[in-house]
Structure 1
Amino acid sequence: MTYLLVGIAGFIGSILRFTLSLVLSPFHPTVLPVATIFVNLIGCFCLPFITFYIFKKYPIHSIYQTAINTGLIGSFTTFSAVSLETITMFEKHHFFLGFIYILISLFGGISMCRLGLLVAEKKEKS
């Protein structure tokens, strides 16, 4: 049952990611992958917020938690796209933008995870 739920949630997460990529495509410069940055930062915020606030406030069975965290958020975000897009930027000699992309992805992701935890903690206290 867990595999089925993770698969269904993964389908939903990947469709959401694809849809956001289409919506953001008019704002997508030729080099910097804005859509990937956007979905990864959203996912980095959502994972700790959902885990440490939503699941505590509305306890659900661990299979559904796995489906949401691994399936939905895991398929919505993507490290493989970050890696490939960085290599592509470097191959096209966009070294500065490649390093900016790495910094935004890494430190932005960590910052958004921290923000998600802080918001979860604040909501839990209120």
Structure 2
Amino acid sequence: MELTIDNSAYPYGTLIINMIGCFLLGFMYYFFVEAKKTINQLVAVVSTGFVGSFTTFSTFELEIFKMFQLDQYLKAISYFFVTMLSGLLFVFLGYCLSKLIIIKRKENK
């Protein structure tokens, strides 16, 4: 059995899953660490364990590798940068949403 990845299309599925994971990590980081002052080990278990298993970094790397094998250099490089930059954006957005929710909850008390 051979592992096949569709290299004809842009890997939107992997990109979307990774962005959801980035958003969740940003959200959980503020919620647990900044606002709740939770123990860092607990945050590491939840974030690395749950969200880390949800995201698909290894698939992302394999897709880039396969693109290079197929001489799809521009596609591989664009995919890399789109993923890295949008990942930072989604961490930031998750962080901001979590912060907004915490601030609103404090105001309503």
**TM bracket, shorter-chain basis:** 0.7 to 0.9
Q: Distance in 1 between matches of 2:9 and 2:65?
A: 12
8 Å contact from structure 1 (residues 52, 117) kept in 2? yes
Using the alignment, how far apart are the partners of 2:77 and 2:48 within structure 1?
Answer: 28
Q: 1:100: how far off?
A: 1.6
Query: For residue 12 of structure 2, what is the aligned residue in structure 1?
Result: 34
Q: How many residues align?
A: 98
Give the counterpart letter for 2:46 in structure 1. Answer: I
Identity rate of aligned residues, in percent?
A: 28
Aligned to 1:71: 49
Taking structure 1 as the reference length, the TM-score comes to: 0.65
Q: Secondary structure at the match of 1:31?
A: coil
Amino acid at match of 2:17: V
- Find out whether 1:46 has 2:24 as its counterpart: yes
1:49-90, Cα deviation, whole Å (9 max, x unpaired): 02212x367787766544321111011113222111111111
1:31 and 1:89 in contact (8 A); partners too: no
1:101 correspondence with 2:79? yes
Structure 2 length-normalised TM: 0.74
Flag the structure with more relative contact order, 1 or 2, with Cα contacts below 8 A and sequence separation at least 6: 2
Q: Which residue of 100, 103, 109 corresponds with 1:125?
A: 103
Provide Cα deviations, 1:18-74, integer angstroms capped at 9, x if missing partner.
Answer: xxxxxxxxxx77332111101110000101202212x36778776654432111101
- Unpaired runs of 5+ residues, structure 1, are 1-27
Instruction: Structure 2: give runs of 5+ residues left out of the alignment.
Output: 1-5, 105-109
Q: Give the corresponding residue for 1:111.
A: 89
CA RMSD, Structure 1 to Structure 2 (Å): 2.4
